[in-house]
Homo-oligomer: A and B are copies of this chain.
Amino acid sequence: MNSTTTGRAAQSGSSGHRAERSDAVRNRGKLLEAAAEVFAERGTEASIAEIAERAGVGKGTVFRHFATKEDLLASIVIDLVDGLAGTARRLAQDDDASSSLYDFMATGVELLVRDRAFCEVVGEPSLADDRLRSAIARLVDQVQVLVSRAVEQGVIRPDLTGTDVVLLLAGVQQTAQPLLTAHPDLWRRYLRLVVDGMRFNGDPLPALPAPPGGLTDDLERWRA
């Protein structure tokens, strides 16, 4: 959990209001930790009451730190997305484009497999928090680096994009989902199959519409 991104915490700085109290900081930490666990296990429909209970605080405390349930959920998912973007950035150091792209996808799918709420949120953009959208845009950007390198090295078909790869993560997870409890590693089978499909072999894919927005257009990026 790299929770620097955390809350709209101490907006200190300007007029010298008192600093944030220590118990408040501690509770927000417990809250984020508990919420991450509960959302991962139970999905986005997990109740605030359960999160508060696991954190060992009252319900009121939840809403003092996060305006709404969606706000709390977004904070957590954004952290996950940013973490994944960090993985992509780190893997971009590696020379072997093929294996680094594969490793990235394996990391991503594994994350999705272990976190129900993450799956639901990234698979259904209706929960369209702006911060989340830009986090996804950052992720797509990082992945695009991996993809471009792989295309240059000729190890995947040239019409693939970072968006494709990110979307495919959720697809692979969903494929294995119905048998997940019985066969927790089944996603590897389908990841392999999808990766094999990503290798260049002649016929171009049905068109994904040309990226309409510029590089800074966050909202349009996700639909690029």
Contact = CB atoms under 8 A, between A and B. Distances in A.
Interface of A: 122-125, 164, 167-168, 170-179, 182-183, 185-186, 188-190, 192-199, 201, 203, 205-209, 222-223
Contacts of A182: 223
Given A185-B206, A197-B197, A201-B196, A175 B179 contact: no
Given A172-B171, A179-B167, A208 B189 contact: yes
Contact of A178 (B205, B209, B222): B222
A178 B174 contact: no
Contact of A124 (B178, B186, B198, B203): B178
Contacts of A188: 206
A47 to B, nearest CB: 15
21 contacts: A123-B174, A164-B189, A164-B190, A167-B175, A167-B176, A168-B175, A168-B193, A170-B174, A170-B175, A171-B172, A171-B176, A173-B174, A174-B175, A178-B222, A179-B223, A183-B209, A186-B208, A188-B206, A189-B208, A192-B203, A193-B205
Given A168-B190, A185-B206, A201-B201, 14 more contacts: A123-B177, A167-B175, A170-B177, A170-B178, A171-B174, A171-B175, A174-B175, A182-B223, A192-B205, A192-B206, A193-B197, A193-B198, A196-B196, A197-B197
Contacts of A172: 171
A85 to B, nearest CB: 17
A44 to B, nearest CB: 12
Nearest to A202: B196
Nearest to A160: B193
Given A178-B124, A179-B167, A193 B192 contact: no
Given A177-B123, A178-B222, A183-B223, A167 B196 contact: no
Contacts of A178: 122-125, 167, 170, 222
